[in-house]
């Protein structure tokens, strides 16, 4: 898998192709942690934990509900992180009924929003990207 890493005072950015199936979410979590390690001062620990959870939820949704290929892009800068998960399906995520209290799935996007991320979807001929943007005040994250 090719990985592009960029840093030098600009956003620390990682882009990777993800494996299909159950391995994708774990691979994505490790990649997100690696992106944070490029510039450790950019993102406080509590935000980093949220970031890894958001990555996991978005990738799991893609693998569960869309066809591949899958890719992850994480871009971190002071006060903001952008996460984009690409898949090979142009079908947009639909609004589903709230899951039953005992359900073991169906809460992914709700969790992402509860963590404070703004969600966007961009679709094209070859698939879509689900994008989450998480922001914080870098002056208060000391």
Spell out the per-residue pLDDT of the chain, length 142, in tens: 444 444 445 667 889 999 999 899 999 999 998 888 777 788 888 888 999 999 999 999 999 999 999 999 999 888 999 999 999 998 876 555 555 455 455 567 888 889 889 999 999 889 999 999 999 888 876 5
Three-state DSSP at 116 gives coil
Q: Report the alpha-carbon distance of residue 15 to residue 104 in Å, rounded.
A: 30
Taking only Cα atoms into account, the Rg of the chain, rounded to an integer number of angstroms, comes to: 15
Q: Report the alpha-carbon distance of residue 92 to residue 128 in Å, rounded.
A: 8
pTM metric for this prediction: 0.81
User: Would you call the peptide bond into 38 cis, given omega within 30 degrees of 0 as the criterion?
Assistant: no
In whole angstroms, how far apart are CA 24 and each of 95, 118, 132, 137?
A: 24, 23, 18, 31
As to burial, measured by CB atoms within 10 angstroms (0-12 exposed, 13-18 middle, 19+ buried), residue 55 is: buried
Task: Count other C-beta atoms under 10 Å from residue 24's C-beta.
Answer: 22
């Amino acid at each position: 898998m090719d990985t592009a890493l960029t840093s030098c005072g600009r956003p620390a950015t990682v882009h990777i192709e993800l494996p299909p199936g159950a391995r994708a979410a774990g691979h994505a979590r490790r990649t997100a942690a690696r992106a944070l390690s490029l510039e450790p001062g950019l993102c406080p620990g509590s935000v980093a934990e949220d970031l890894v959870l958001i990555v996991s939820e978005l990738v799991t949704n893609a693998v569960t509900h869309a066809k591949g290929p899958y890719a992850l892009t994480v871009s971190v800068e002071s006060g903001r992180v952008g996460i984009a998960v690409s898949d090979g399906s142009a079908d947009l995520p639909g609004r589903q009924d709230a899951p039953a209290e005992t359900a073991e799935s169906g809460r992914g996007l709700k969790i992402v929003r509860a963590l404070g991320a703004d969600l966007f979807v961009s679709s094209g001929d070859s698939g879509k990207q689900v994008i989450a943007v998480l922001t914080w005040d870098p002056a208060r994250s000391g």
